Amino acid sequence: MFKTHTYTTVADAFKDATQNLPENECLRIPKSMNRDYYPDGFSMSYGEVWLTAEKLAARYTEAGYGPGHRIAILAGNHPALFIHWLALNSIGVGVVPVNPEYKSTEILAMLTASKAVLVLTTSSKFDSVRTVASQFSPPIPVELVYKFDSEFPSVIRPSNGVITRETEAGLLFTSGTSGLPKGCILDNEAFLFNGERYANAGGVMKMTYGEERLYSPLPMYYANSFSITNPAMILIGGCMIFPDRFHPKSFWQEIKETDPTIIHHIGMIPLVLLKQDVVVEEREHRIRYSGGAGVDPIHHSELEKRFGFPFVEFFGMSELGVCAADNIPPRKPETTSVGRPLAETEFKLVNSEDVEVNSGELGELCVRRTGPDHRRGLCREYLDNPEVTAQVWKNGWFHTGDILKRDEEGRFYFIDRIKHMIRRSGQNMSAAEIEAVLQGHPAINEVAVVPVWDQVRQEEPLACVVLNDGYQGDSEIAESIFYYSIEHLAYFKAPGWILFMDSLPRTGSEKLQKSALVTSDQDPALIPGVIDMRSKKTRQ
């Protein structure tokens, strides 16, 4: 069993792995001539990473950084993000990972909310990030993330220099159910608990110390890698492999080059791989399993037969980590089973009155830590948002907003989400955030954004629009609305479909009735009058 009780920070666990396995490969980046960093690939051992992080930590400390400070890092999957985070974790500084696809207004909102005292970024983003940072008084300093020998701008040294397991390790912004993204505060306890549960999951996910290599084509600035799998690999002295993103054409070549024992996926990745031509590399590997969420049960058997390893379905959230997995045989891959709760995690399903339902009945999933402190190792609170914190932690349980059911053997099955959140290719988006931007278009009187089914991306935002007088609902105005959203939001948040309506459906009390707009499994292409904008959704 991999235990964390002797560690105060994740950096402590990393130092322990370094002492035991200094030569073990820690970070690996596959070759890519289309990437603006390390085109020939990259590799660092545990000893090399720790030596670099120690030097960085010393320079940060000399400049006054410590517990209570936050530093934002906008660097994509650049390995420097991890090295800086490790250095900062060792001195009690919280890190705010920022999606590099975000536009200026989104970055401004995150820097404002987080009160970051420094921003680290890449050369390609440096000028645009500095422009945003200059809007603060005084301006927030901006430095290049991969200049490890840089001197950092001085800050006022924090009054409280004590580092504990409750010291903040990361601040992740996660989409809300009815508002803008919320800041999810995660302490060292949460990172260590996430890693411990994952490393000890067992079954088809059984880990061997010093031998695992995890290839993750998912963003390092989201929870899956940042606060879940990275801590797990640290605990077992494993290698973390990060391409810049998922590349279908070169996927199996990258697998051959980096030799992982584990890979991670989101729902679209397995489906895209199934559509690729068969290559010999897809059977010449050491992969024991792929972990993730969102694989359609229809494809599960075909995936495992073709590629020769299980695709393990998880249930997890930024706030909770991976807290359930269908990893213990006999598995149920032909269903929507997410298996059973992992160690020290309790589940229950409740109805709208917060009363627990019976096996076989649908209910909202509620989660807590076993023991006297039910929030320990989970997201204790949202940044500056006590009202939402109190709502989700009602009656001592974290209310996920997801509908599941439980069978008589204790397995849980994902059914649907009850929150107004859109999940496109693993990116979580708040409908309210998109609506707030679209409402600024001069032609729009009212707008409602809902998720609609997509064969490849899982879901796409559908914008239901009521126009102001004098505007015609045609393809020209649809393009105007689309490009307006692209100016203010990351490309993946732009509406994939636009539907013009005379009015939006409302209840007797005049509340917007989104459920009457479209059903979650409805093919949007069959909606009369809908305009398809998906082909325009490309990285800018």
Q: How much is the pLDDT for 231?
A: 98
Average pLDDT over residues 170-195: 85
Q: How much is the pLDDT for 176?
A: 46
- Half-sphere exposure for 95 (CA within 13 Å, toward CB): 31
Q: Model's pTM, two decimal places? A: 0.85
Q: How much is the pLDDT for 161?
A: 83
Q: How much is the pLDDT for 520?
A: 65
Percent of the chain with pLDDT over 70: 97
Percent of the chain with pLDDT over 90: 82
- What is the Cα–Cα distance from 209 to 237, expressed in whole angstroms? 6
Domain 10-406 listed as CATH 3.40.50.12780: yes
CA–CA distance from 268 to each of 56, 292, 423 (Å)? 38, 11, 11
Poorest-pLDDT segment among 59-63, 139-143, 221-225: 221-225
Question: 119-166 pLDDT, tens per residue?
Answer: 999 999 999 999 999 999 999 999 999 988 889 999 998 877 899 999
Q: What is the mean pLDDT of the chain?
A: 93
Domains of the chain, by residue range, sit at 10-406, 422-536
* Terminal-residue alpha carbon distance, the chain: 46
Whether the predicted pLDDT of 463 surpasses 50: yes
Whether residue 257 contacts residue 243, with contact meaning beta carbons closer than 8 Å, is answered with no
Poorest-pLDDT segment among 167-181, 195-209, 250-264, 313-327: 167-181
- What is the Cα–Cα distance from 488 to 481, expressed in whole angstroms? 11
The string of DSSP codes covering 63-96 is TT--TT-EEEEE-TT-HHHHHHHHHHHHTT-EEE
Rg (CA), the chain: 23
- What is the Cα–Cα distance from 379 to 382, expressed in whole angstroms? 7
Smallest CA-to-CA distance from 454 within 522, 519, 376, 368 is with 522
Q: How much is the pLDDT for 59?
A: 97
Strands 94-97 vs 118-121: parallel, antiparallel or unpaired? unpaired
Average pLDDT over residues 269-297: 93
Q: 275: pLDDT confidence band, cut at 50, 70 and 90? A: confident
Whether the predicted pLDDT of 178 surpasses 60: no
Segments of 157-228 assigned E as strands: 168-174, 182-187, 213-215
Whether the predicted pLDDT of 177 surpasses 60: no
Q: How much is the pLDDT for 509?
A: 42
Torsions phi, psi of 210, nearest 5? 80, 0
- What is the Cα–Cα distance from 347 to 367, expressed in whole angstroms? 5
208 CB burial (10 A radius; 0-12, 13-18, 19+): exposed
SS3 letters across 362-405: CEEEEEEECCCCCCCCCCCCECCCHHHHHHHCHHHCEEEEEEEE
Q: Is the bond preceding residue 451 a cis peptide, omega within 30 degrees?
A: no
Three-state SS for 458? strand
Q: Does an H or E element contain 415, and which?
A: strand 412-417
- Count H helices, E strands: the chain? 14, 25
375: its two tokens: 């929030």
CATH topology of domain 422-536: GMP Synthetase; Chain A, domain 3 (3.30.300)
Q: How much is the pLDDT for 268?
A: 78
Question: 402-423 pLDDT, tens per residue?
Answer: 989 999 999 999 987 776 678 8
Three-state SS for 354? coil
Q: 424: pLDDT confidence band, cut at 50, 70 and 90? A: confident
419 CB burial (10 A radius; 0-12, 13-18, 19+): middle
Average pLDDT over residues 426-430: 76
Whether the predicted pLDDT of 179 surpasses 60: no
If you ran DSSP here, which 8-state letter would residue 356 be given? B
Poorest-pLDDT segment among 348-357, 492-501, 502-511: 502-511
319: its two tokens: 């706030």
102: its two tokens: 């975000």
Question: 21-46 pLDDT, tens per residue?
Answer: 999 999 999 999 989 999 999 999 99
Q: 511: pLDDT confidence band, cut at 50, 70 and 90? A: low
Number of Cβ within a 10 Å radius of residue 358: 10
Token pair 């031509």 is at which residue?
A: 277
- What is the Cα–Cα distance from 22 to 35, expressed in whole angstroms? 29
372 CB burial (10 A radius; 0-12, 13-18, 19+): exposed
Q: How much is the pLDDT for 540?
A: 62
Average pLDDT over residues 47-62: 97
If you ran DSSP here, which 8-state letter would residue 267 be given? T
Q: 244: pLDDT confidence band, cut at 50, 70 and 90? A: very high
Whether the predicted pLDDT of 515 surpasses 50: yes
